[in-house]
Structure 1
Amino acid sequence: MNTQYERDGYLIGLAERLRARGLPADRVEATVTDLAAHLEESGTEDAEAEFGPADEFAAQLVPDTGVRAPGAADKPDEARGPGEASEVVETWRWTADTYVDEELLNRFGDEGWEVERVDAIGRFVSHRDVAQPQRWEYRRELVTRGREGLDERLAPEGWEACGTWVVYAWFKRPRAASLGPAARVESPPPVPERSRFFSRRFYGLLAVLALAVAVAGISVAVGDEDASSGLGFLVGLLAGAVAVVGVAWALQMWRGRRT
């Protein structure tokens, strides 16, 4: 019996049911990705045994509240123990450049969004407890020379690592320790419609790189007194446009300020 096929087949079927129920495509992707990660981490091979029949499980996933947390107890708020997670959470993946990421992390943290990790393409994988949303705060650290001792140094202040990417590490801590009951978000705003937040400075950096490419092509043409050589050079550079954008992203990550 191919348990991998059965598990993937279950998730594919679940995704189809979620789309049929009107869940937006990006939320479907985030939901299925998180569920697959849960199965991998728990070592569970039988997805249906873990989550129940796909039709019934899909009925528990609604567009305005997001994902039912796997294995959560079916308890009312007053019966839930201290620190016990709510049954229903909202999920959201988003990204930002390092000119604005820390500011946005704290803004969204005040709306109850807790970052679980940073994925392979630099997105903040976040969730929010629907029944008891709590405020979070964040900080970013530069880790170009490794992070030896960094976690231990920040732990006494309540900071917990929540993701790394390229040369940065992000840390989070709940604001309940300093705010008490005021840390609860009484009326959280809806899940943001956007998932990408890039600053004017980042777009300015892209513009500078594009201008540099154009100037390089013109310079070659003028130096050779042959427009075709400059054109060929420029076409070659434009053919690597994807790589240029990747370099731009890496550069702006390096240029972000250290907190």
Structure 2
Amino acid sequence: MNTTDPDARYERDGYLVRLAERLREHGLAADRIEATVADLAAHLDECATEDAEGEFGPVDEFARQLAPGAGGAPEAPPEQVEVWRWTADTYVDEELLNRFGDEGWEVERVDALGRFVSHRDAARAQRWEYRRELVTRGREGIDERLAPDGWEPCGTWVVYAWFKRPRAASLGPAARVESPPPVPERSRFLSRKFYGLLAALAVLLVALAVAVAVDDGEASSGLGFVAGALAGAAAGAGAMVAVAAALRTRRRRRPT
């Protein structure tokens, strides 16, 4: 790293100080601001440059990229905001979230049907990255553990929680999507592994039905078993949706 030019170093550090002030004005938490500035300083060191503005662009614009939708950031006109709801199984959801995040899609939440509710500013699309966490025993401590690295929650579903963060902190101006692709025509993405699991369950169900029918000596017993199993599966899925919706309602009503 070049440290022979104190004026350049002063300009670089001054840029980061001003950036921290702008992020604070936009309402970002202090720990997230500290982590973001540290990451940017490390990036400048790796690039062996002191020209922070040349690397990241004007400080005010860069602050808005790092804190989209925060206080003071301009909102896009309604006609420029694209909304897309889609779903995927857990074999491919994280991969697809990051693929679509690179196209500028930001997930707002996961709805009661398990769909990712996403939006994108067509005129100022920014890249996002995502990660999924298992929360079988609650999510206590997960938010706090991930927040210093810039991760913020963007949805939960039964035993999973998803987190997002803008890629501007690591990519700088390159995080902007200059020519966003069209809104995908599909809204459901199910993997071969998922269909294979369904096929295996179907085979198992048929085998159990045959076993029941042979044991009772009546084909109707096997058919009854299949019908009961399907009804039970449907009821169980409905109950999971109801429980998930109830938990979300309870969290929204819980006093802060």
TM-score (ref. length: structure 2): 0.61
The structural deviation recorded for 1:206 is: 1.1
The structural deviation recorded for 1:113 is: 0.1
Deviation digits for residues 92-133 of structure 1, max 9, x if unmatched? 000001100000000000000000011111110000001100
* Distance in 1 separating the partners of 2:76 and 2:169: 19
Larger Rg: 2
Residue aligning to 2:75: 85
* Distance in 2 separating the partners of 1:205 and 1:135: 33
Deviation digits for residues 44-95 of structure 1, max 9, x if unmatched? xxxxxxxxxxxxxxxxxxxxxxxxxxxxxxxxxxx9x933232221000000
Unaligned 5+ segments in structure 2 are 1-60, 65-72, 242-256
Q: Is the 8 A contact 2:158 2:240 kept in 1?
A: no
Q: Is the 8 A contact 1:112 1:133 kept in 2?
A: yes
Correspondence for 2:223 among 227, 231, 235: 231
Correspondence for 2:154 among 154, 162, 165: 162
Q: 1:231 to 1:173 in 2, by over 3 A?
A: closer
- The runs of 4+ residues in structure 1 deviating greater than 6 Å are 244-249
The structural deviation recorded for 1:225 is: 2.5
* Distance in 1 separating the partners of 2:217 and 2:141: 58
Q: Is the 8 A contact 2:213 2:222 kept in 1?
A: yes
The structural deviation recorded for 1:151 is: 1.1
Task: Show the 5 A alignment for 1:165-180.
Answer: 165-180=157-172
Deviation digits for residues 18-50 of structure 1, max 9, x if unmatched? xxxxxxxxxxxxxxxxxxxxxxxxxxxxxxxxx
One-letter amino acid of the structure 1 residue matched with residue 136 of structure 2: T
Q: 1:222 to 1:247 in 2, by over 3 A?
A: farther
Q: Is the 8 A contact 1:221 1:228 kept in 2?
A: yes
Unaligned 5+ segments in structure 1 are 1-78, 250-259
One-letter amino acid of the structure 1 residue matched with residue 99 of structure 2: R
* Distance in 2 separating the partners of 1:207 and 1:245: 18
Q: Share of identical aligned residues, percent?
A: 76
Q: 1:248 to 1:103 in 2, by over 3 A?
A: farther
Residue aligning to 1:198: 190
Residue aligning to 1:211: 203
* Distance in 1 separating the partners of 2:154 and 2:222: 47
The structural deviation recorded for 1:210 is: 1.3
The structural deviation recorded for 1:145 is: 1.2
User: Which of 1 and 2 has higher RCO (CA within 8 Å, sep 6+)?
Assistant: 2
Q: Is the 8 A contact 1:91 1:128 kept in 2?
A: yes
Q: Is the 8 A contact 1:206 1:245 kept in 2?
A: no
* Distance in 2 separating the partners of 1:181 and 1:165: 33
Q: Is the 8 A contact 1:90 1:130 kept in 2?
A: yes
Correspondence for 1:104 among 85, 96, 102: 96
The structural deviation recorded for 1:211 is: 1.3
Task: Show the 5 A alignment for 1:9-48.
Answer: none
Is 227-236 or 192-201 further displaced after alignment? 227-236
The structural deviation recorded for 1:236 is: 3.6
Q: CA RMSD in A?
A: 2.6
User: How many aligned residue pairs are there?
Assistant: 171
TM-score (ref. length: structure 1): 0.60
Q: Which has the higher helix share?
A: 2
The structural deviation recorded for 1:248 is: 11
One-letter amino acid of the structure 2 residue matched with residue 111 of structure 1: E
* Distance in 2 separating the partners of 1:120 and 1:236: 26
